[in-house]
Amino acid sequence: MDKINVFSEIGKLNSIILHRPGEELTNIVPSLMDELLFDEVPYLKNAQIEHDRFADILRDNGVEVHYIEKLAKESIVSDEIRQELIETFIDEASIRGLEEIKLVREYLESIKDNQKLIDKMIAGIRKEEIGLKSNSILSRKDSVREFYSTLPMPNLYFTRDTFALVGSGVCMNTMWSNVRQRESIFGDMIFKNHPAFKDNKPKYYYNKNSNYTLEGGDVIVLSNKIVAVGISQRTEGKAIVEFAKNLLSSDDGFEKVLCLALPISRSTMHLDTVFTMIDKDLFTVYPGIRGSLEILELTLQDGEIKIKELGKDIERVLSENLGTDGVTFIENGPRGMIDAEIEQWSDGYNTLAIGPREVVVYERNDAINELLYKNNVKLHKLVEGELSRGRGGPRCMSMPLNRDNYF
């Protein structure tokens, strides 16, 4: 497996980490959608077909694809690590009652195949699987929630969020929603225990047990000197300061963090839902954020973070920091904000660069895709109808492990 090397968003992509959707999607019911952060219920069979198409696009373009569930299984290299995984999972699963905790522990310990153990943790555990029954009348207050001992992790196929690989290190994230916090267990175990990292354990720029929330969809590696991070619905400013201090004091060579303050709403839950990098002078930008985007510059001086206000002119800030004569924004189609709002909802601004001016996009976003094509961008269009129901695009669904250096 390649070493961690992510010093840009646009260097040729060599290897990546995905999660193929599994039985966890079949455990989403309408009454749990809000808690599980879904607006609709995806159909598993088609979601898997679409996700396999996504992986094939990457493989066909020379990208080595790793699956987080398989890497997690390979990281269980001792009985001690296996037991630690079970205990950590139980601690973070919000199981109610000592007897139920005991039954969940016994159930997980009874699963001898490590891949099946990982898959069951992700899928969720129904009470009936551990010998418990719920009375629908007595449980009316919590409705369907009362039928689960541990909730499923349907958001895991958005592998971008739970950890971000930056430079040669790992940002292991504290998730905004408690229901997603368990997802980072697997990445944490991989980077600490997988045989590929046995002799070269990566440095951590953030820890999953921090007091402040930070998610990977808000982290964009603009160059080998600059990282952008969004203050969003799911990433707090104090988390960015903590991350920046660790990153800028490392030997990876980063010099500053640009902090972009987004409107706090579900539609702008992460920076990459409204802003992605196509080339050093080409970006997708949802026009709805242009007038409200406050930009801060974080640098390290004498061991402390210094903060400078840069205003709202994102075009000027990007041009100055990336050394270009200007930048071009892919914003909206011929119908203006109508196209922009529709295609922001269907993840048109969430592109995954596999090289400079070469991106994976959802086929459905005709207006933005046409603008990208007119700007000489090579498009790999993913035909889908189920994956976007989880509110995330190609960048959300992927965590680059290794890229060629571009800058």
Structural domain harbouring 278: 155-181+202-403
Look at residue 341 and tell me if it is in a domain.
Answer: yes
Look at residue 121 and tell me if it is in a domain.
Answer: no
Look at residue 3 and tell me if it is in a domain.
Answer: no
Task: Kindly state the DSSP code that residue 202 receives in the 8-state scheme.
Answer: P
Task: Count up the domains in the chain and report the number.
Answer: 1
What pLDDT score was predicted for residue 137?
Answer: 46
| Residues of the chain scoring pLDDT < 50 | 137-138, 140-141
Cα–Cα distance for residue pair 70/44, rounded to 1 Å: 19
Look at residue 9 and tell me if it is in a domain.
Answer: no
Beta strand spans in 215-271 (E): 219-221, 226-231, 256-261
Look at residue 4 and tell me if it is in a domain.
Answer: no
Look at residue 125 and tell me if it is in a domain.
Answer: no
Q: What is the CATH number of the domain that holds 389?
A: 3.75.10.10
What percentage of the chain's residues is helix, strand, coil (to nearest 5)? 40, 25, 40
State pTM to two decimals: 0.94
What pLDDT score was predicted for residue 134?
Answer: 63
Which tokens is 204 given?
């951590």
Is there a catalytic annotation at residue 259? no
What pLDDT score was predicted for residue 35?
Answer: 79
Look at residue 254 and tell me if it is in a domain.
Answer: yes
What pLDDT score was predicted for residue 267?
Answer: 62
Counted residue by residue, the chain has a size of: 407
Cα–Cα distance for residue pair 3/139, rounded to 1 Å: 49
Q: Which of 41, 123, 296, 396 is catalytic?
A: 396
Look at residue 102 and tell me if it is in a domain.
Answer: no
